């Protein structure tokens, strides 16, 4: 999981369990024929927030929401190309005003039609400050956003002037400036439509969501599982070949993997580090090793006085140079990750190797020198907060050992029991120093790894980072005449990050996963998700 399904902070490991999900297939072997009425189970984590489309920027909630809702567009899992879903067409001549035409026949799970107002009302509600949606900044490109979401004080409007309903199947989006790749952003879950009933009871709908996606909500047993079933009137191009998905919550990576091996879990998110050396032999042709547009970082709490002074950037640079990425990825992570040299994941459009420069190269002597020049690490001790349910302890301990041995700075892990708790502590500014930040693409462009994470006030800027030069270069990149121009512009913005080092790039992910003998036709996309609707449950 800004995976950022969506901006998306990713669990990135595994998560253990609860119960064998009701309705889930059980037992292995047998016929290779499939049963389109049977559900399959997927390893998940408890959502941080209610299941509202603009209120999830972590995988626990994001993956569930992306299956319950469907927006104007999404991305083909086979090649990550943009494809139309609810939209028949999205036309623009200037990358600032977009004319949207909707397909006919789409309905929500309650039977009400999906219309232009379903999008416009949802976006206005999500953008408005008083509704406290974590992804509200995703609407900041739209003209009138500052009226509903001012930097301070109360909103002066409840609707953005840039959204206009023409009729039930046509509406227009006017941005405050050009954004050449805006259509790509529309595939993010925050841009999902909402049924009219939602606005009468947002809290209730957050617990029992009504969407328009391939699967409809059945139940949410908190900290245990979320059960969905196939929506028979789904109009998308990716009609389900199964009866639904059961998202099972886990507390340890190892328990999830054990359940997979015993066919009590059908598809795993990532195998735990302890299984990386053996999972391919354990699972045989059911093991998955595929590219993923994701990166593991360590973030800093720049909003704290200890880390705010400009000279502390030298300390952060030094800490980065004290981490032996090559050894950790080869040993602890069994070669399943590649050392990072940039803040954008390898394979993403706009990835440029070496953007981190020497700061991502292991050099203990230079590390000690930079830390000393910056006035030292506060109290000569680092704490790395991470979620214990994600299979991170091994590498966090290895990173701390590398920093300690290279610099003499004390370093310890700060495990939180689960992903939800860790994310709540991070977004609530309740941690001290450093924290794990795994990021998976929400749309396959470098802008997603940069503007949506490091821009001042961005939804997933958990660091408190603010750099006027980075912001200016990002704005210029947005206003380029082409997507390629935006990509190049964001490469220039990325080059600025090393001077402040708000986050340390560690390594790039691959999807190291697998599935039970109960299912077939399981493939993963570059977002780290299975092609949900294409999974077949054996009859």
Helix (H) or strand (E) holding 171: strand 170-174
Q: Could you read off the pLDDT of 323-350 as tens digits, one per residue?
A: 999 999 999 999 999 999 999 999 899 9
- Nearest partner of 419 among 452, 396, 392, 449, judged by Cα: 392
127 with 120: CB under 8 angstroms?
A: no
26 with 77: CB under 8 angstroms?
A: no
Question: Six-digit token pair at 211?
Answer: 């969407």
Numbers of helices and strands, H then E, in the chain: 16, 18
H-helix segments, 223-322: 253-261, 279-283, 312-321
CA distance 146 to 347: 35
Question: Six-digit token pair at 75?
Answer: 């991305």
pTM: predicted TM-score of the whole model, two decimal places: 0.83
DSSP 84-140: ESSEEEEE-SSSSEEEEEEPSS-B-TTS-B--HHHHHHHHHHHHSGGG--TTGGGGT
SS3 content of the chain, % helix, strand, coil (to 5): 30, 25, 45
CA distance 437 to 426: 10
**Intra-chain end-to-end CA distance of the chain, in Å:** 30
Query: How distant, in Å, are the alpha carbons of 74, 338, 417, 514 from that of 224?
Result: 29, 33, 15, 21
Q: What is the pLDDT of residue 32?
A: 63
291 with 66: CB under 8 angstroms?
A: no
Beta pairing, strands 338-339 & 503-514: antiparallel
456 with 463: CB under 8 angstroms?
A: no
* Angle made by CA atoms 56, 57, 58, in degrees to the nearest 5: 95
H-helix segments, 228-384: 253-261, 279-283, 312-321, 325-330, 364-373
Question: Six-digit token pair at 474?
Answer: 């990002």
pLDDT in tens, the chain (539 residues): 333 333 344 454 322 222 223 233 333 334 468 889 999 999 999 999 999 999 998 889 999 999 999 999 999 998 889 999 999 999 999 999 999 999 999 999 999 999 999 999 999 999 999 999 999 999 999 999 999 999 999 999 999 999 999 999 999 999 999 999 999 999 999 999 999 999 999 999 999 999 999 999 999 999 999 999 999 999 999 999 999 999 999 988 899 999 999 999 999 999 998 899 999 999 999 999 998 999 999 999 999 999 999 999 999 999 999 999 999 999 999 999 999 999 999 989 999 999 999 999 999 999 999 999 999 999 999 999 999 887 899 999 999 999 999 999 999 999 999 888 998 999 999 998 899 998 989 888 999 999 999 999 998 899 999 999 999 999 999 999 999 999 999 999 999 999 999 999 999 999 999 999 999 999 999 999 999 999 999 98
DSSP 433-492: SEEEEEEE-SSSBHHHHHHHHHSTT-TT-TT----HHHHHHHHHHHTSSSHHHHHHHHHH
């Amino acid at each position: 999981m800004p995976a950022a399904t969506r901006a998306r902070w990713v669990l990135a490991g595994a998560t253990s369990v609860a119960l064998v999900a009701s309705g889930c297939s059980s037992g292995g072997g047998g016929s290779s024929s499939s049963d389109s009425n049977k559900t399959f189970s997927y390893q998940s984590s408890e959502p941080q927030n209610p299941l509202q489309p603009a209120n999830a920027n972590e995988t626990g909630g994001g993956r569930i929401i992306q299956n319950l809702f469907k927006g104007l567009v999404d991305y083909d899992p086979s090649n990550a190309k943009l494809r139309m879903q609810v939209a028949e067409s999205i036309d623009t001549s200037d990358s600032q005003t977009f004319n949207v035409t909707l397909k006919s026949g789409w309905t929500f799970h309650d039977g009400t039609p999906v219309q232009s107002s379903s999008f416009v009302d949802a976006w206005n509600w999500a953008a408005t400050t008083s509704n406290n949606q974590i992804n509200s900044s995703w609407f900041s490109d739209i003209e009138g956003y500052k009226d509903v979401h001012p930097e301070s004080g109360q909103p002066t409007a409840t609707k953005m002037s840039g959204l206009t309903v023409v009729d039930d199947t046509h509406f227009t989006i006017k941005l405050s400036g050009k954004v050449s790749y805006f259509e790509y952003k529309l595939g993010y879950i925050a841009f999902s439509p909402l049924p009219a009933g939602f606005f009468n009871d947002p809290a209730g709908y957050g617990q029992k969501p009504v969407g328009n996606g391939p699967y409809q909500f059945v139940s949410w047993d908190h900290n245990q599982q979320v059960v969905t079933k196939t929506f028979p009137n789904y109009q998308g191009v990716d009609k389900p070949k199964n009866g639904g998905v059961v998202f099972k919550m886990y507390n340890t990576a190892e328990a999830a993997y054990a359940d997979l091996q015993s066919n009590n879990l059908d598809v795993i998110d990532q195998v735990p580090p302890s299984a990386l050396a053996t999972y391919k032999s354990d699972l045989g042709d059911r093991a998955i090793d595929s590219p993923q547009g994701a990166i593991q970082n360590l973030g800093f709490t720049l909003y704290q006085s200890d880390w705010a002074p400009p000279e502390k950037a030298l300390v952060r640079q030094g800490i980065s140079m004290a981490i032996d990425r090559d050894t950790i990825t080869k040993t602890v992570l069994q070669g399943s990750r590649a050392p990072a040299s940039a803040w954008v994941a390898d394979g993403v459009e706009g990835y440029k190797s070496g953007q981190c420069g020497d700061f991502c190269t292991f050099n203990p002597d230079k590390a000690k020198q930079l830390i000393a020049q910056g006035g030292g690490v506060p109290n000569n001790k680092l704490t790395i907060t991470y979620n214990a349910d994600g299979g991170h302890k091994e590498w966090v301990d290895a990173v701390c050992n590398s920093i300690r041995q290279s610099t003499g700075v004390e370093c310890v892990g700060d495990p939180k029991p689960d992903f939800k708790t860790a994310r709540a502590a991070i977004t609530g500014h309740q941690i001290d120093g450093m924290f794990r930040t795994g990021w998976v693409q929400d749309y396959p462009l470098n802008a997603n790894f940069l503007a949506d994470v490091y821009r001042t006030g961005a939804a997933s800027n958990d660091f408190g980072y603010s750099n006027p030069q980075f912001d200016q270069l990002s704005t210029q990149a947005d206003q380029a005449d082409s997507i390629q121009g935006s990509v190049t512009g964001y490469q220039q913005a990325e080059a600025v990050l090393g001077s402040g080092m708000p986050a340390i790039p560690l390594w790039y992910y691959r999807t190291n996963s697998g599935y039970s003998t109960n299912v077939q036709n399981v493939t993963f996309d570059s977002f780290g998700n299975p092609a949900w609707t294409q999974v077949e449950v054996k009859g």
